[in-house]
Structure 1
Amino acid sequence: MRNLTCLQPSLATTVALPVIYSLLFPAGIFGNILAGWVFSKQAPPRRTQHVYLSNLVTANLLVGSTMPLLATYFARGYQWTYDSVECRIANHLGGFVMHVSMYVTIIILCSIALNQYATLKKISDAKYPPAAKENFYRCVLQKFRQPEFAKCLCIVVWLTVLCITVAAIIYNNVQINAMEESQRCFNVTVEASKFTSMLAACLATTCFFVSFMTVLLSYYCLTRHLSEIQKNTCIGEKHLIYGTVKRNILVIQMILTVCFLPYHVFRPVFYLLLPEDDCPKLNYLVEIKNFLTCLAAAKSSLDPVIYLLLDKTFKRSLYGLFTKSMPEHHKEKADIFTEETPDI
């Protein structure tokens, strides 16, 4: 068994991580509240895209709410005892909410990509009827455009991720309480519990890569589909929706790649490389894991910036809410969730 006093946080953990989380917190909370406000004012409530994005904003706000707890945990966790109130709140509540929201976000991003692709397929199929063998695939894909299906999917995702995370935390907590020598909140069992976290890590990593490959496959199929259409006809300016959908799926793919992929590639490596008695190596591995977790959490603060930079309708809607003088022809174009002209 590894010595529980082996883990000694460096300045990177006690200073850099708290500073990063403290900077991300106001940006994420303010930006997502503002985004939620814009969506609620401009979005028809029965649109499928509204369902997905409402859940995405909710998950982002939950991740943002945990950042002060995580900043405090990394700054002071090595000074607390494990059974202290501060440790229980910062470690359990902070880590619990962040991981639940993180995987809900990943699955919802995947669902948004499928919804975007399904929207384009419907428009394209109306002009270029598909082969009979594609009918079943098309029917399954179109489910992601139905509001009732989107609501049920989001509920199932929240409940499933919640149950798995609660089970992992409870099991890990029982193991730690059984160890009398576990005194500090920031300890090896919490940060590098190999046995109790293996199953949860395996399920989480599988969930991510299934979502990642689904979005990647959607982008590939869309690109191939557009190439086939272009062989027979010219996609003019009136078909700019194709470029919009392609861009939106690409943005989702970039988010998954930049923010989530490094963490999920490193996570199985982390458990495989955990040393039994090499304290310096253990400290390095834990620090890398925590910084990659921070990168994944940073995605919640970047979403409003992505909306603002890449979505012209979101920008116009935001401007209209502040000025309250949006021209009528802009209002007609500012439906962020219009199924015929989907935007991220």
Structure 2
Amino acid sequence: MRNSTCLLQPSLATTLVLPVIYSSLFPAGIFGNILAVWTLSRRAPTKRTQYIYLANLVTANLLVCSTMPFLAVYFSRGYQWSYDSVACSIANHLGTLIMHVSMYVTIIILCSIALCQYATLKKNSDAQYSQAVNENFYRCVLKKFCQPKFAKYLCIIIWLTVLCITATAIIYNVLERTTEEFQRCYNIKVEAGEFTAMIAASLATACFFISFMTVLLSYYCLTRHLSKIQKNSCIGEKHLIYSTVKRNILVIQMVLTVCFLPYHIFRPIFYVLLTNNDCPTLNYLVEIKNFLTCLAAAKSSLDPVITLLLDKTFKKRLYGLFTKPTPEHHKRKVDIFTKESQNVKE
């Protein structure tokens, strides 16, 4: 790399603030996601498509959260480690690499959940959907995202792809270590990567923007669709269900916008400006990148809250784990809206 000789000097923001943030996110994320796993395993209907996606989303979140201690130690002590040390290898492989690939699993699954929500609502609100589905490739693809079997296969493919990419990257990094020597672990090669890492990052960035635009298009199409059916008919009591699905897609869009969009806008800028030989500028660029990465990783710790927003049935069952059973005659009244929501989602 052209700037491999530049000696990075981390500021207090990197050596103090980032470790504190990661150390705070770790227990909150682990506790919240383990609680989500427990709730899903005890009370969730395993055959529902939504819960297949949620189970894989929580798994990816746990992987991201499990890397946070390694990242906290790396940012607080990495500038003191030698590049060939075991600690540097662990922080680089178990920290940065696994965190990044797990983040992209969450992005793809969030996109799949948005498509599933949009497709189920359109299917249930469009009287001609079943007749047109075989004639319209777009609707056929949307319908697939609502099928539990397809959801399982999609998640398996995503994880296999992630495992292959992770294994390949680790092997490549181990082999490349012998070709170039650095004194410290916190260096421009670890922070920016080699040419192959840049190619992989470019593909990942493209994957994010495809997912981002897909969710945005789903929300736009859903808004237009609801506007159309409101003009042509009275949706009455189903209005709450339509509003819930619209809100769910909006929540996913907001998560992608707030947590992931800043990082993916900055990443191409970061690689373009790496050609600059000014070391102070490179230090600032690396620190901005690391804070935006931290913002993206924070999403995994906040995801249990997002899950509660996305699924009222999940919220009800989580509440039921900590309360006494509700009498049947009262439970029947409480479940009216929940049953209606399940019919739309299935």
Q: TM-score, length-normalised on structure 2?
A: 0.91
Deviation at 1:272, TM superposition (A): 0.3
Contact kept? 2:101, 2:162, Cα under 8 Å = yes
CA shift for structure 1 position 127: 7.0
Q: 1:340 aligns with which of 334, 339, 343?
A: 343
Aligned-partner Cα distance in 2 for 1:249–1:138: 18
* Counterpart for residue 99 of structure 1: 100
RMSD of aligned C-alpha atoms?
A: 2.4
Whole-Å separation in 2 of the counterparts to 1:108 and 1:336: 25
Q: Residues 64 and 334 (structure 1 numbering): CA distance in 2 closer, same or farther, change over 3 Å?
A: farther
Q: Residues of 2 paired with 1:336 and 1:259: CA distance?
A: 32
- 5 Å-filtered alignment, 1:107-126, equals 107-126=108-127
Contact 1:96-1:165 at 8 Å conserved across structures: yes
For residues 327 and 290 of structure 1, the distance between their equivalents in structure 2, rounded to whole angstroms, comes to 52
Q: Using the alignment, how far apart are the partners of 2:185 and 2:294 within structure 1?
A: 19
Q: CA deviation at 1:100?
A: 1.5
Report what 1:292 is aligned to: 292
Q: Please give the secondary structure, in 2, of the residue aligned with 1:177.
A: coil
Map Cα deviations across residues 48-99 of structure 1 (whole Å, 9 max, x no partner): 1111000000000111100001101111111111221211111211112211
Alpha carbons of structure 1 residues 335 and 125: separation in structure 2 relative to 1, 3 Å: same
Name the counterpart of 2:138: 137
Q: CA deviation at 1:158?
A: 1.3
Query: Alpha-carbon deviation of 1:162?
Result: 2.8
Determine if contact 1:49/1:337 at 8 Å carries over to the other structure.
Answer: no
Residues 158-200 of structure 1: CA deviation (Å, up to 9, x unaligned): 12233234333433443343113x1211111111235232211
Name structure 2 gaps, 5 residues minimum: none
- Inter-partner Cα distance in structure 2 for 1:196 and 1:118: 37
Following the alignment from structure 2 to structure 1, what is the Cα–Cα distance between the partners of residues 75 and 61?
A: 21
CA shift, 1:140, in A, is: 1.7
CA contact (8 A) 1:59 1:101 kept: yes
Pairing of 1:12-161 with structure 2 (within 5 A): 12-126=13-127, 135-161=136-162
Question: Which residue of structure 2 lines up, in the alignment, with residue 243 of structure 1?
Answer: 243
Q: How far 1:280 moved relative to its partner?
A: 0.4
Q: Which residue matches 1:233?
A: 233
Alignment gaps of 5+ in structure 1: none
Equivalent positions of 1:202-221 (< 5 A) are 202-221=202-221
Q: What is the TM-score normalised by the length of structure 1? A: 0.92
Report the AA paired with residue 67 of structure 2: T
Cα separation, partners in 2 of 1:3 and 1:36, compared to 1, 3 Å: closer
> Contact 2:263 / 2:292 at 8 angstroms: preserved in 1?
yes
Q: Cα 1:92–1:105, aligned 2, differ >3 Å: closer, same or farther?
A: same
Contact 2:47/2:148 (8 A) holds in 1? yes
Number of residue pairs matched by the alignment: 342
1:42 partner letter: R
Say if 1:322 and 1:133 are closer, same or farther in 2 by CA, change over 3 A: closer
Percent of residue pairs identical = 73
CA distance in 2, matches of 1:66, 1:122: 40
Distance 1:43 1:212 in 2: 28
Instruction: Tell me whether 168-177 or 33-42 shows the greater mean CA deviation.
Output: 168-177
